[in-house]
Amino acid sequence: MIAPIDPTTYADALARIQALWNAGASQVGHADHAEFEGLYAALTVYEVAEGLSAPQQQFQIDTLNRLQWFVGKKTDLQSRKVRLKAQYDAMLRDIERNEEHLDWRYAAQAEQVLRSHLGKGRSPKLLTGTVGLRKSAARVGATDDAALLQALEAAGGDLATVIEPKINLTALNRLIKVEGDVAYLVSEGTVAELPGLSIKPASETFFVKAGKEGEDQE
């Protein structure tokens, strides 16, 4: 447990975290990693409270070694998210299977009991929860989109108004290229003057991902 930092211990804390960094304690798995993390958090709390925006000794990502630490922390958190999601999904599947089995075994019986005890309200509240009958409005659907679309187009009138065209942006990007902040038609090389067309110039986005086992590192 790291004690709170105060003005009398601040300099020593900075020297200690620098020594821990030099020893590699910023890396997950190092024997002193927990101390490094705790000391870093305590220093951050103190500096924020004291209004020390950027002291010269403040830890920053300014070298390749420190970039390595940052990437290591990011990939470790990403791996934790993947493992947690996989565990959550497995647990959720078990719960869903149990719920499906419960419905298969007892839902019809439960509905019969509910219907036999319905009063004015359709959703009586029990000690363990609320049970009820939810009304759903009658509605139509589509079993064959192409056939229904053709029939609606042929019918015309109000029925034709439900047909909504959708732009295939993937195909559109094959027909138009963007240079800088100007869009050109690929086939003609002329400026694409299309009302409603937006232009997103090329850009770069910083990312971090875990390397795969056996993957070459450049």
Percent of the chain with pLDDT over 90: 28
Contact 174, 167 (CB under 8 A): no
Same domain, 89 and 50: no
Kindly state whether residue 209 falls inside one of the protein's structural domains: no
Task: Convert the pLDDT of each residue in 25-36 to its tens digit.
Answer: 888 778 888 899
As a whole number, mean pLDDT of residues 67-84 equals 91
Residue type, 10: Y
What pLDDT sits at residue 212? 66
How many residues in the chain? 218
Q: Domain for residue 152, yes or no?
A: no
State pTM to two decimals.
0.49
* DSSP-assigned letters across all residues of 9-56: THHHHHHHHHHHHHTTTTSTT-TTHHHHHHHHHHHHHHHHHHT-S--T
Both 56 and 72 in one domain: the answer is: no
In a domain, 154, yes or no: no
15 within some domain: yes
Whether residues 45 and 82 fall in one domain: no
Structure tokens at 184: 């050109």
Residues 75 and 51 in one domain: no
User: Please, which residues bridge with residue 184 across strands?
Assistant: 177, 191
Q: Is residue 137 part of a domain?
A: no
Regarding whether 172 and 186 lie in a shared domain, the answer is yes
Residue showing tokens 């509605």: 139
In a domain, 210, yes or no: no
As for how many domains the chain has, the answer is: 3
Give the C-alpha separation, 43 to 148, whole Å. Answer: 66
One domain for residues 120 and 70:
yes
Q: What is the pLDDT of residues 50-73, one digit of tens each?
A: 876 444 556 788 889 889 888 998
Task: Tell me which residue range forms the domain holding 180.
Answer: 166-194
Regarding whether 40 and 14 lie in a shared domain, the answer is: yes
199 falls within a domain: no
Distance, CA of 106 to chain centre: 37
Query: Is residue 125 within a helix (H) or strand (E), and if so which, with residue range?
Result: strand 125-126
Residue 133 forms part of a structural domain: no
Q: Based on the domain organization, do 56 and 71 belong to the same domain?
A: no
